[in-house]
Amino acid sequence: MDSHIPSPPTRRLSMGERENAIDRTIPLLPPAEEIDEFNYFDNNDPPEYLESLIHGAQEFVKFHKNDRVVLVTSGGTTVPLENQTVRFIDNFSAGTRGATSAEYFLEHGYAVIFLHRQFSLLPYSRHYSHSTNCFLDFMEEKNSKVIVDPIYQEEMLMVLRKYQHAKDHNLLLLLPFTTINQYLHTLRALSVTLRPLKSRALFYLAAAVSDFFVPLHRIPEHKIQSKAGGSKLVMNLDPVPKFLHRLVDKWAPGAMIVSFKLETDSSILLSKARQALERYSHQLVVGNLLQTRKREVVFVEPGKTELWIRLTPAQEAAGVDIESLIIPAIVERHDIWINKSKNSA
Ligand SMILES: CC(C)(COP(=O)(O)O)[C@@H](O)C(=O)NCCC(=O)N[C@@H](CSSC[C@H](N)C(=O)O)C(=O)O
């Protein structure tokens, strides 16, 4: 580092500041009840494209009326701070978990509805995105033609064939969201669309969903002005009602529901995952830590001790996707779920 440039002071929040940063005296929000659902959806308008999006999903579900269909949610939801949005709060997620999982569900014979954050990673194209593994790096010019560099032919051909198969057999439906409001309206509408599939419908909720938002009646129309000389921006956010409970109880009765619990503190991951399972009474919580999410996850299920799924160092070095271990374990559980539902019908 250039000695003339003073190194920045190491910023340390005093314990007081850190401890008071978040008001932890606010009690845990109870799972959303019917009134919370009506309040939310009545006061926050649906996206104007919802009707046509759901029409497409209905056609897709009709086409797959005898198949297994998994709704994979992927990417982070945003919380706009202005109606004509310039600033927003984002939730971390590149979309790798969702896009990779969708590929393995397709390999296991599922039809996939991929509800994803717009411009986040997609199944198949994730291998050659515009930034990491830029697709242009795999091409070269030969006799004034663009060709794929021979050393990448085999791998790219494999990805292209899988992508083409999914398209030719109408197995993959890509549906976008950006804001938390678009996500929640679409999730609720899709769960109704999936009802005819009963236990053959699977929800795999890998999206990073906002917990706080600015309700429509409180959001400023135009860009928030920062006054000359600086001024604090004090935000007053409402908690997003805990819809997982409504999804399990009302929106998707009969479907198998898998949610993800994301933490950064390993000492609370298991308890928070178990707490989510007890609060929402669904079938599986996949717990993961931000820093190790690509090499280990933990399955937390009712009445069972937790099950860690980890890549071995050799698998990690070989670039094995942990989703290649997660998805077969979930498909196994979905087999049991479907058989149990048949026997109790
Ligand atoms: C986002 C990641 C970590 C994947 O990362 P990328 O591969 O980079 O995309 C995913 O594995 C995950 O944990 N997703 C779930 C994250 C999440 O927000 N989970 C919620 C629970 S489901 S959100 C539902 C709502 N909060 C409610 O409780 O009703 C939580 O941890 O609180």
Q: pLDDT tens-digit profile of 49-88?
A: 999 999 999 999 999 999 999 999 999 999 999 999 999 9
Q: What pTM value is reported for the model?
A: 0.90
CA 117 / ligand 1 centre spacing (Å): 13
225-279 pLDDT per residue, tens:
887 777 788 888 999 988 898 899 899 999 999 999 999 999 999 999 999 999 9
- Give dist(CA 232, CA 234) in Å, integer: 6
CA 9 / ligand 1 centre spacing (Å): 34
At 15 the pLDDT is 56
- Grouping H, G, I as helix, E, B as strand and the rest as coil, residue 161 is helix
Pocket of ligand 1 (CB under 6 A): 93-97, 205-206, 208-209, 211, 242-244, 259-262, 288, 293
- Grouping H, G, I as helix, E, B as strand and the rest as coil, residue 25 is coil
Which atom of ligand 1 is closest in space to residue 263's alpha carbon? 31
Q: How confident is the model at residue 1 (pLDDT cuts 50, 70, 90)?
A: very low
CA 209 / ligand 1 centre spacing (Å): 6
Instruction: Specify which residues 203 forms β-bridges with.
Output: 71, 257
| 55 Cβ contact partners less than 8 Å away, ≥ 6 residues apart | none
Taking only Cα atoms into account, the Rg of the chain, rounded to an integer number of angstroms, comes to: 22
Evaluate if residue 22 carries a pLDDT over 80. Answer: no
Which tokens in the block code for residue 82?
Answer: 């202005």
- Give dist(CA 278, CA 301) in Å, integer: 10
- Give dist(CA 248, CA 334) in Å, integer: 15
- Top mutation candidate among 212, 245, 260, 298 for ligand 1, by most atoms within 8 Å of CB: 260
CA 102 / ligand 1 centre spacing (Å): 16
* Entry field: residues in the chain: 345
ipTM confidence score: 0.92
CA 284 / ligand 1 centre spacing (Å): 13
Residue 89 burial (10 A CB sphere; 0-12, 13-18, 19+) = middle
**What 8-state DSSP symbol labels residue 128?**
G
Which atom of ligand 1 is closest in space to residue 94's alpha carbon? 8
